[in-house]
A and B are shown apart, each in its own frame.
Chain A
Amino acid sequence: MTAATTSSRRAGGPRPGAALAAKSLLYALLIAIAVVYIFPFLINVATSFKTDADAASDPLALLPQTITTAAYERLFLNSDFPVWFKNSFIVTIFVTAGRVFFDSLAGYALARLRYRGRNVVFAALIAVMAVPNVVLLIPKFLVINQLGMYDSYAGMIIPLLADAAGIFIMKNFFESIPASVEEQAKIDGAGVFRTFWSIVLPMARPALITIIILSFQGSWNELSHFIISTQSPDLTTLTKGVASLASGQLSQGSQYPLKLAAAAIMTVPVAVVFFIFQRRILNASDGAVKE
């Protein structure tokens, strides 16, 4: 209040004091909310370096009483964690590469190629997008099982290789590129695939990056598909493994430092991708829709 009155005297305009007070209030509010959003992650990291007793007695402290890397050592040297990490990595790489290729192919065809049945294909795509993922758990298992892909990388990767939302984003992007660009290439005698591959695709970089980010996030964080497509411990992904940790496998008692260390490591790759592409993620409204 005092700040408000002094500034109003200084500026002398129409109620600038009130404006300043409102501004300070806005910042105070924003900072308070930001703390609520960030604090849990700080606690997560801090706790992963605590001892079990410390984590239980002082859950809020951001500085461990004694810093210990016991949780991380246990995870890497004394558990299946490296296997989980490797599996998540393999699946994510293949799924991301596959989605970038197949989504852009299909998006291009739906946006630009005139062929009989295109509207039917597009309508079917929209209809498929409306089917909720969780409803598909049992059905997907049935098909994967019938195809003999259960408990294999094929069963984990192939069903995720194309996604309707990604195709949609690519289609929208290709529609925004002027058609004259390709006409030139066509007149020069380039085939359809060549036009797509060397003319149009390089122009689609912003959309491709969006697909990469979404696919990476989506497949790294995927849980339910791996639950129903695998059983073998050799094929356990991070999400599945950490979920089993959470429900008490591998541990006696609560062992929160161990679980939170696993959660922290699992968050690192998506956090890195997020901070690299931050500007794009936060500005592109296209990329904002998560599934």
Chain B
Amino acid sequence: MTAVTNRPSLARRRSRIAGREGVAGWLFTAPMIVILGLFLVIPVGMALWVSFSDWTGRGSPFSGSVGFVGADNYNTLLSGGGLAERDFGISLRNNGWYVLLVVPLQTALSLFLAVLVNRAVLKGRGFFRTAFYFPSVTSSVAITVLWLFLFGATGAVNKVLSYFGVNGPNWFQDPSGIVHNLLGAVGITTGPAILTENTALGVSLWDWLAGPSVAMSAFVLMAVFTTSGTFMLLFIAALQNLSGETQEAAMMDGANGWQRFWRITLPQLKPTLFTVLTLGIIGTWQIFDQIYTGTQGGPGKTTVTPAYLSYTSAFNNQQWGQGSAIAFILFVIIVVLTLLQRFVLRDRAVSKRRLRAYGIAVKGMER
């Protein structure tokens, strides 16, 4: 810009081009601004208003008959003491366990697959990548239908289990929590009073610790099955961007495969690990299609998730304010968890200095 002021004629030409580009720039981005504005930004504003209102779904939410009720909808959910609070608590419990199991499993499995498939000497790499990725492209509805069959009472999974002498459960009909079941196996069937007598969001602490129900566990397996391929691709891309030099240096220094993986590869994969964990958290808190298609929240409400509860509250029960409030609480949960994770895994990108430090560490390890 400073150079431009020295040469007025050029500046004029530039500004003419810039003017033309300015119009074009806005014209080019106009469709996107209109579509995203109309169907993403304005809706959020409208729903925020609805979550503070007593709109019942009839007429416009902005008509005079719709009243502002303050934080009532939020209070009903968070401290109302009624069914709404309890359902919301249960949905958080269900989805919380789902996230807690799916995110580490899918991350570990996809990294494991990427490392296996990424070997240069491996024959049939394309085949294995295709096999692992294919579940990711199919629709969640089709996979859910398949899962309902595989995990049915007399389905394929139980048939396989029977070969090992295991009598499989009726997966999608079984509301019992797996942590409670494990405790039950060692004879613990009721928790200590401190857990059973205290409640959070209308659900006793003992029930918070029930673990995912058997039905939810089948969804956990499904999520790991369908997402590991996508994340595998991210890890493969990252692995291929790593320079071989550090690896070679470590190999020369006698670090074994395991040491090289933990001390050299994994630290360098940190940015990708961060991406995968973030996408994992965001995705798992939004589970909806599978529940809608598969169990509709049953058995015994153990597969109700906040996203599904938000949908049914609004569209089935006409509790629009409550439904919107659940959506916004869910939004906050996702944002907070993402930020928290960003803080824990602060992006200490592997600097040259650190790389050198790793090199030294590997050298030192050998002796």
Chain A positions within 8 Å of B, measured between CB atoms, are 23, 26, 29-30, 33-34, 37-38, 40-41, 43-44, 47, 55-57, 59-60, 102-103, 105-106, 108-110, 113-118, 121, 124-125, 128, 130-144, 146-147, 158-159, 161-162, 164, 167, 186, 191-193, 196, 217, 220-221, 223-224, 227-228, 238-239, 242-243, 245-247, 254, 256, 259-260, 262-264, 266-267, 270-271, 274, 278-279, 281-282, 285, 288-290
| B33 vs chain A, min Cβ distance (A) | 7
Closest to A130 in B: B335
Contact in complex: B22, A115 (CB < 8 Å): yes
Q: Are A34 and B132 in contact (CB under 8 A)?
A: yes
Q: Which residue of B lies closest to A127 (CB)?
A: B41
By Cβ-Cβ distance, the 7 closest A-B pairs, closest first, are: A139-B43, A115-B25, A285-B237, A109-B28, A221-B139, A139-B47, A192-B24
Q: How far is the CB of B198 from chain A (nearest CB, A)?
A: 30
A290 adjacent to B230 (CB under 8 Å): yes
A119 vs B122: C-alpha distance when bound (angstroms): 45
A14 to chain B, nearest CB (A): 13
Q: Which residue of A lies closest to B329 (CB)?
A: A135
Q: Is B126 touching A282 in the complex (CB atoms < 8 A)?
A: yes
The reply to whether B310 and A138 form a contact with Cβ atoms under 8 Å apart is yes
- Knowing A47-B149, A137-B310 touch, does A282 contact B129 (C-beta < 8 A)? yes
B289 contacts partner chain A, Cβ-Cβ < 8 Å: yes
Closest residue of B by beta carbon distance from A106: B32
Contacts of A246 in B (CB 8 A): 141, 144-145, 148, 293-294
Verify A281–B35 contact, CB threshold 8 A.
Answer: no
Shortest Cβ distance from B219 into chain A, in angstroms? 14
> Of all chain B residues, which has the CB nearest A259?
B145
The yes or no answer to B138 lying at the interface (CB within 8 A) is yes
- Using known A-B contacts A116-B22, A139-B47, determine if residue A158 contacts B35 with beta carbons closer than 8 Å: yes
| A114 and B35 within 8 A (CB) | no
Residues of A within 8 A of B38 (CB): 143, 147, 159
A274 and B137 in contact (CB under 8 A), knowing A106-B28, A113-B25? yes
Are A33 and B132 in contact (CB-based, < 8 A)?
Answer: yes
B99 to chain A, nearest CB (A): 13
Residues of A within 8 A of B351 (CB): none
Distance to closest chain A CB from B180 (angstroms): 28
- Please count how many residues in chain B sit with their CB below 8 Å of the partner chain's CB atoms: 95
CB-defined contacts of B307 to chain A, threshold 8 Å: 134-135, 137
Whether A271 contacts B132 in the complex (CB less than 8 A), given A113-B24, A128-B41, A247-B293, comes out as: no
Is the pair A263, B145 in contact by a Cβ cutoff of 8 Å?
Answer: yes
Q: Which listed residue, A105, A114, A158, A164, touches B28 by the CB 8 Å rule?
A: A105
B20-43, CB < 8 A from A: 20-26, 28-29, 31-33, 35-36, 38-43
Are the C-beta atoms of B31 and A102 separated by less than 8 Å?
yes
Known: A136-B43, A220-B139, A266-B142. A162 touches B132 (CB 8 A): no
Asked whether, in the complex, the Cβ of A132 is within 8 Å of the Cβ of B330, the reply is yes
* B66 CB within 8 Å of chain A: no
B39-64 near A? 1/0 per residue, CB < 8 Å: 11111101100100000000011000
B98 CB-CB contact with A under 8 Å:
no
